[in-house]
């Protein structure tokens, strides 16, 4: 996800909204015992290829030295039949939803090119079997007054989709760059105005209430840090993945350390906020193929190895157990896995040519327990 910053041209401003502590309490109510497990979906596999078949994300090192990560349908995901196939794989494994990385590209360089990042979501919405999974949006490009209303106008119609993920009937959306949104909106007061406008426009369009989430990190889990999200009017918190928290040293780290990073996030974030929280768990993290081909990107100096399907299943079992035991802190009994298809970053559930559906078969057993 760090690579998303390469595509972002930032200019941000002041706008926003607020939510009452009464509403926050309501959001923490028990949504039932069943944990709904989903996964993040990254749409970077549909860019036009060069003469060698490569793109920024389908990079030479990924294709040659990390070929074990290649999905059974190949690296590209720009055909409708591939999306249909993916939906079936995910639903058959017991996943309930995908959180799509979504991009409002008005302010970025080459916006038409960057719109390729949203092709997967477009195809999902056109799939005949789309109702097998719910979906929601993870807004990944920061916004400014220039495109804030455009973001509102583009996302609100999707909230009305029959299979858009809701909690208590309220559609959810997460801002990946929440801190940059706050900065760009001029701080807390500006962000309150912006989020208030978002809710007002949603209500005018027939969506009575929406739940707006902020991506945060356990390394910033101090109350003084997390409280700003409450002050801005965000409704809940989550993370994309927790690899930084599990890092023990540069270079190779065992998957067990990533598991520890997950547990750190689960413990520290809810203990330092009064907002509901959606826990996440990792299936791996290893950016070496992209870092090798793009030396200027802000790549990590560490990676994780040893994420077998058995160990992923065991970590999912722990994540579900924690979610159930801490249901009063969790939004809607939701749990998100990193990730469905971050194959370039090293976190995936997609069936691959090297191990078939081993990961999906393993998590299916856990989800059905």
Residue 193 has pLDDT above 50, yes or no: yes
Percentage of residues in the chain having pLDDT higher than 90: 80
Residue range 2-367 forms a domain whose CATH class is: alpha beta
Predicted pLDDT of residue 221 = 54
Question: 3-state SS of the chain?
Answer: CHHHHHHCCCCCCCCECCCCHHHHHHHCCCCCCCCEEEEEECCCCCCCCCCCCCCCCCCHHHHHHCHHHCECCCCCCCCHHHHHHHHHHHHHCCCCEEEEEECCCCCCCCHHHHHHHHHHHHHHHHCCCHHHCEEEEEECCCCCCCCHHHHHHHHHHHHCCCCECEECCEEEEEECCHHHHHHHCCCHHHHHHHHHHHHHHHHHCCCCCCEEEEECCHHHCCHHHHHHHHHHCCCEEECCCCHHHHCCCCEEEEHHHHHHHHHHHHHHHHHCCCCCEECEEECCCCCHHHHHHCCCCCCCCEEEECCCHHHHHHHHHHHHHHHHHCCCCECCCEEEEECCEECCCCEECCCECCCECHHHHHHHHHHCC
Predicted pLDDT of residue 10 = 32
Average predicted confidence (pLDDT) for the chain: 90
Predicted pLDDT of residue 29 = 38
pTM for this predicted structure: 0.91
Of the two residues 14 and 351, the one the predictor is more confident about is 351
Mean pLDDT confidence for 62-79: 97
Percentage of residues in the chain having pLDDT higher than 70: 90
Q: What is the pLDDT of residues 293-319, one digit of tens each?
A: 998 888 889 999 999 999 999 999 999
Q: What is the pLDDT of residues 7-38, one digit of tens each?
A: 333 333 233 333 334 444 344 434 457 999 99
């Amino acid at each position: 996800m760090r690579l998303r910053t390469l595509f972002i041209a930032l200019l941000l401003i002041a706008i926003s909204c607020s939510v009452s502590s009464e509403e926050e309490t309501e959001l923490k109510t028990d949504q039932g015992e069943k944990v709904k497990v989903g996964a993040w979906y990254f749409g970077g596999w549909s860019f036009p290829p060069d003469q060698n078949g490569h793109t920024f994300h389908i990079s030479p090192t990924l294709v040659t030295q990390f070929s074990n990560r290649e999905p059974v349908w190949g690296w590209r995901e720009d055909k409708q039949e591939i999306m249909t196939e993916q939906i079936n794989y995910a639903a058959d494994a017991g996943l309930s939803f995908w959180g799509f990385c979504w991009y409002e590209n008005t302010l970025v360089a080459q916006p038409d090119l960057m719109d390729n990042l949203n092709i997967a979501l477009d195809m999902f919405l056109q799939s005949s079997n789309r109702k097998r999974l719910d979906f929601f949006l993870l807004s990944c490009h920061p916004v400014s007054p220039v495109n804030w209303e455009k973001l509102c106008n583009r996302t609100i119609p999707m909230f009305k989709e029959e299979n858009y993920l809701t909690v208590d009937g309220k559609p959810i959306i997460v801002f990946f760059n929440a801190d940059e949104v706050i900065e760009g909106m001029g701080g807390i007061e500006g962000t309150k105005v912006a989020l208030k406008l978002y809710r007002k426009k949603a209500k005018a369009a027939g969506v009575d209430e929406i739940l707006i989430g902020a991506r945060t990190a356990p390394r910033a889990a101090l109350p003084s840090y997390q409280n700003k999200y409450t002050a801005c009017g965000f409704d809940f918190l989550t993370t994309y993945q927790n690899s930084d928290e599990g890092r023990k040293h540069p270079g190779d780290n065992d998957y067990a350390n990533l598991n520890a990073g997950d547990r750190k996030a689960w413990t520290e974030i809810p203990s330092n906020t009064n907002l509901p929280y959606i826990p996440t768990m990792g299936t791996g993290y290893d950016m070496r193929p992209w870092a090798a081909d793009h030396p200027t990107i802000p790549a990590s100096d560490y990676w994780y190895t040893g994420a077998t399907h058995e160990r992923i299943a065991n970590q999912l079992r722990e994540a579900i157990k924690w979610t159930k035991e801490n249901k009063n802190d969790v939004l809607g009994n939701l749990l998100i896995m990193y990730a469905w298809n971050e194959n370039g970053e090293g976190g995936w559930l997609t069936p691959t040519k090297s191990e078939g559906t081993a990961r999906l078969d393993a998590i299916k057993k856990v989800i059905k327990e």
